[in-house]
A and B are shown apart, each in its own frame.
Chain A
């Protein structure tokens, strides 16, 4: 589903964010990208949804080399992916329902599809009774659930999550992990960047560890070291 071949990303002239990284993630896998801040986890995620392009190497998504994709095709690549962020990136002037509907609206889904899919996904994340709330009226965990609902409402093949539990207390973070796990069980490939030891150790999934841009460990059912 996701394959990186000898990928190197340099910011500016000499700041190497990712150096010669290769790995292969199968359909339906759940993978943690771990490592300290600045180790290149976020850069890898940004390379996977074409927010960045590598200086060297290739990124393959669902059998296609996305570096060769024209700019006008990138939106269609992204429609097959969901993105979740540490800071949720919700629109504060829109309600929970509108935030999730927005993802469908901007890709031109008709209204009856929106009316059907948004309540379903809000029920999945456990927010069926908070459709009309604004993000400010929700707890951090609830806001992250809205963000996950928005990422998942289009039933993407791949979910990219960048420190989704970074702003949450441990118990709330666990709830988010359960949600991502159930999304993964429905067949969606999940790639999650984190430096949260507890969660990695609890989940026992594949772990790809980075250190200053270099891949130092790729382990099935790994723990955070």
Chain B
């Protein structure tokens, strides 16, 4: 068993060195495509942060001062509920201080100064309003009405904040996903080609191996290891790139004025780490499976 493992690694390494140019091309391509995949995830997560408060067709948020008394809150709710023809009462949600604070933690990940000023005591609570009407003017006039109520700190409309970002998010998502899928395909094709070249270079050896009774798996495994290694190295490189990208982005965002909303685009470190692990796994799997299929196809040399 030990001699088989040693054999597989020896062969992998030898083949790796033999096809240096092709190997490098395969690694660079897989690194770039994986970097794009990772960037897609980070961008998406940033947009999700930004849009988290508008989840579920919420079109209007009524902010209530943190020092509002329960009966004052009840009064605001009553006013909102007095328009059942215009407002979807089933989906009307009230976020208390605890819930609003949890949400703020997501939105202000990239703005620790602001976050440190917020506490569950000082944070405004919110009514999330889903209108039944598509009439923007009507929603706007409702907002005006709510702004005049006691203890209402402000009313935000999705129309003002949300629409542009939402469209942008959809566009960016489509573009990055298409690009990363195409590049990943190119990377697998390049790995495939390196393996085919490696097998062609060793066709005589493979012929002898088959004649003396080596199993197909025994022949295939060093090639699969080679593909796996290419994918994995590409994955490691893409992780480095993603880390640098995210760092530059985070420090860039810190330069913006607080409260512009840009800080929501910062992604928490734990999420970035998760994406990196995923990139390594995708790289290794794509390399191993691609080369395994290539090896099987060309095993009849």
Contacts and interface: CB of A to CB of B under 8 A. Distances in A.
A174 B218 CA distance: 37
Contacts of B211: 49, 78, 83, 89
B168 interface: no
B208 A75 contact: no
Contacts of A81: 213
B215 A102 contact: no
Nearest to B208: A89
B209 interface: yes
A154 interface: yes
A105 interface: yes
Nearest to B215: A75
A109 B215 CA distance: 13
Main secondary structure of the interface of B (DSSP, over half): helix
Contact of B218 (A89, A91, A108): A108
Interface string A147-175: 00010001000000000000000000000
B218 A106 contact: yes
Contacts of B215: 72, 75
B205 A150 contact: no
A197 interface: no
Contacts of B209: 102, 106
A76 to B, nearest CB: 7
Nearest to A81: B213
Given A91-B205, A106-B218, A154 B212 contact: yes
Contacts of B68: none
Interface string B201-212: 000110111111
Nearest to B214: A106
Contacts of A91: 204-205, 208
Given A89-B204, A89-B207, A91-B205, A110 B3 contact: yes
Contacts of A77: 213
B213 A107 contact: yes
Contacts of A76: 213
A110 B1 CA distance: 8
B4 interface: yes
Interface string B1-42: 101100100000000000000000000000000000000000
A107 B204 contact: no
Interface in A88-135: 89, 91, 102-103, 105-111
B3 A105 contact: yes
Given A105-B3, A110-B3, A78 B204 contact: no
Contacts of B210: 75, 78
A41 B218 CA distance: 31
Which of A71, A72, A81, A105 has most B Cβ within 10 Å? A105
B207 A79 contact: no
Nearest to B205: A91
Interface string B196-234: 000000001101111111111011000000000000000
A79 B7 contact: no
Given A105-B3, A106-B218, A108-B218, A79 B212 contact: yes
B207 A75 contact: no
A197 B218 CA distance: 41
Contacts of B205: 91
A107 B208 contact: no
A89 B205 CA distance: 9
A78 B213 contact: yes
A108 to B, nearest CB: 5
Contact of B213 (A71, A72, A79, A89): A79
Contacts of A111: 3
Contacts of B207: 89
Nearest to A79: B213
A150 B204 contact: no
B3 A150 contact: no
Contacts of A78: 210-213
A222 B109 CA distance: 92
A102 B208 contact: yes
Which of A49, A72, A102 has most B Cβ within 10 Å? A102
Nearest to A112: B3
12 contacts: A72-B215, A75-B210, A78-B213, A81-B213, A89-B207, A89-B211, A106-B212, A106-B218, A107-B212, A109-B3, A150-B212, A154-B212
Given A108-B1, A154-B213, 9 more contacts: A72-B215, A78-B211, A79-B212, A89-B208, A102-B209, A105-B3, A106-B213, A106-B214, A110-B3
Interface of A: 49, 71-72, 75-79, 81, 83, 89, 91, 102-103, 105-111, 150, 154
Q: Which 3 A-B pairs have the closest CB atoms?
A: A79-B213, A106-B214, A78-B213
